[in-house]
């Protein structure tokens, strides 16, 4: 099977406009023992490396640009480089997968690519989080995650810089919970605790 309820918890986060600060706030609230976290932020490739380094200096988690084929580990955050889609694959353990395939929803990296891979390979052990951003990237992928049994969260209108992507996800039934930004990190922690109990 490509997915299993017994798989370890993995967190998937997508964001666009306003996302750099939103991602930072979520990550700052998570402990160094958190499950692996894969992140897509719409951002030109000249900035993703410095963004990862800045987060790494601020967070208790280790934050880095994702590399193709590298295994994912607890306590680590893998940021999609600005030139490639990021997905997750399962071959024994879980690994990052990078691709320079055509843009999806006009974006590379695309949140939908990451979330669809999460639905396929991680299923009910995934947590999907869609943060502030313009457009609809990530909405259909988050729906696929929910349909696969994942816990799905969207940022609420009032705390978004642009309430686009989360609104689109909510509109198609992809979201289990809509939360203010300040509550998303604690809710992720709660889900991790429930899953491991």
Q: Could you read off the pLDDT of 156-168 as tens digits, one per residue?
A: 999 999 999 999 9
- Cβ proximity of 142 and 154 under 8 Å: yes
Q: Which of the pair, 85 or 194, is modelled with greater confidence? A: 85
pLDDT for 97 equals 98
What would the two tokens of residue 15 be? 């964001």
pTM above 0.85, yes or no: yes
5 in any annotated domain: no
110 is catalytic: no
Quickly state the pLDDT bin for 146 (edges 50, 70, 90). Answer: very high
Taking 70 as the threshold, does the pLDDT of residue 177 lie above it? Answer: yes
User: How distant, in Å, are the alpha carbons of 3, 16, 55, 102, 186 from that of 156?
Assistant: 29, 14, 23, 30, 15
Indicate which residue of 42, 85, 116, 121 is catalytic.
42
pLDDT for 98 equals 98
137 is catalytic: yes
CATH no. for residue 56? 3.40.50.180
Name the β-bridge partners of 86. 98
User: In angstroms, rounded to a whole number, what is the distance separating the alpha carbons of residues 42 and 108?
Assistant: 8
16 is catalytic: yes
Domain residues for the domain of 32 are 10-196
Indicate which residue of 29, 97, 121, 137 is catalytic.
137
User: In angstroms, rounded to a whole number, what is the distance separating the alpha carbons of residues 99 and 101?
Assistant: 5
Indicate which residue of 16, 84, 97, 110 is catalytic.
16
4 in any annotated domain: no
């Amino acid at each position: 099977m490509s997915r299993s309820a017994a798989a370890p918890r993995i967190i998937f986060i997508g964001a666009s406009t306003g996302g750099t600060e939103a991602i930072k706030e979520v990550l700052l609230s998570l402990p160094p023992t958190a499950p692996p976290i894969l992140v897509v932020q719409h951002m030109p490739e000249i900035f993703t490396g410095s963004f990862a380094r800045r987060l790494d200096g601020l967070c208790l988690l280790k934050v880095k640009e994702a590399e193709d084929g590298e295994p994912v580990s607890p306590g680590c955050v893998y940021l999609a480089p600005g030139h490639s889609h990021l997905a997750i694959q399962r071959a024994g353990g879980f690994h990052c997968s990078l691709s320079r395939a055509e843009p999806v929803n006009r974006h590379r990296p695309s949140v939908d690519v990451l979330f669809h891979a999460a639905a396929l390979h991680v299923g009910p052990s995934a947590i999907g989080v869609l943060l502030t951003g313009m457009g609809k990237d990530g909405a259909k992928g988050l729906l696929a995650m929910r349909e696969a049994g994942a816990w799905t969260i969207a940022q609420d209108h009032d705390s978004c810089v642009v309430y686009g992507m989360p609104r689109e996800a909510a509109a198609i039934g992809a979201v289990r919970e809509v939360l203010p930004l300040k509550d998303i990190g604690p809710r992720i922690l709660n889900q991790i605790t429930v899953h491991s109990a």
